[in-house]
Amino acid sequence: MAEVPVLKPEKAEAAKVARLPAFEAPLFPGRLFTMNPFALMRQFTEDMDRYFGTAPRTAAAAWTPGIEVKQKEGKLLVTAELPGVKKEDVKVHIDNGVLTLEGERKEEKEEKREGFYHSERTYGTFLRSIALPENAKTDAVTAAFNNGLLEIAVPVPEIKAARKEIPVAAAPVKGA
């Protein structure tokens, strides 16, 4: 067997080997084991939220009200749930065949008890747009707001489907 001489590396050479990129975490180079565990978890959570698109948005953009759209009795009915919104803070308009609902919600809560005070403010704007059918009668649209529920009725002519029944016959049996 051949003998191989073993040489001790100099200190500078040893430092180079210890800092190989494979030994460092790619997200936190050189700080993985010296980082506060809570800061590490917070950073991990924020990175995952950004990756999956669930990062917290600003309060002004965070609220989207629920909307239901259905066609019934010759009308397109749009119902929007707007809890905590006042009638004065809601605008409804139609531009180029698109129905737009927009508004703002402002909510302030204040709680005082013995040795305790809690104040919370929530603000949120919303904007929802719904494309209307080509033949919608936009000059006869009605909107009503009651207890946080906005109901909009857009008259549209009913389109009857041109349906034709096709009789199904039995296929002739081959080889008979």
Q: What pLDDT sits at residue 161?
A: 72
Residues 39 and 56: their CA atoms lie apart, in Å, by: 18
- DSSP character string of the chain: -------PPPHHHHHHHHT-GGGS-SSSTTTTTTS-HHHHHHHHHHHHHHHHT-PPPPTTTS----EEEEEETTEEEEEEE-TT--GGGEEEEEETTEEEEEEEEEEEEEEEETTEEEEEEEEEEEEEEEEPPTT--GGG-EEEEETTEEEEEEE-PPPPP-------PPPPPTT-
Q: What pLDDT sits at residue 133?
A: 86
Q: Give me the residues paired with residue 75 across strands.
A: 72, 155
How wide is the angle at C-alpha 76 spanned by C-alphas 74 and 78, nearest 5°?
A: 150
Q: What's the mean pLDDT in 112-116?
A: 86
pLDDT confidence band for 21 (50 / 70 / 90): very low
Residues 82 and 127: their CA atoms lie apart, in Å, by: 12
Give the model confidence (pLDDT) of 152-168 as tens digits.
999 988 777 778 899 99
Whole-angstrom Cα Rg for the chain: 33
pLDDT higher at 15 or 109: 109
**pTM flag (> 0.75):** no
Domains of the chain: 12-52 (no CATH), 67-155 (2.60.40.790)
Q: What pLDDT sits at residue 101?
A: 92
Q: What pLDDT sits at residue 11?
A: 55
State residue 81 phi and psi, 5-degree precision. Answer: -90, 115
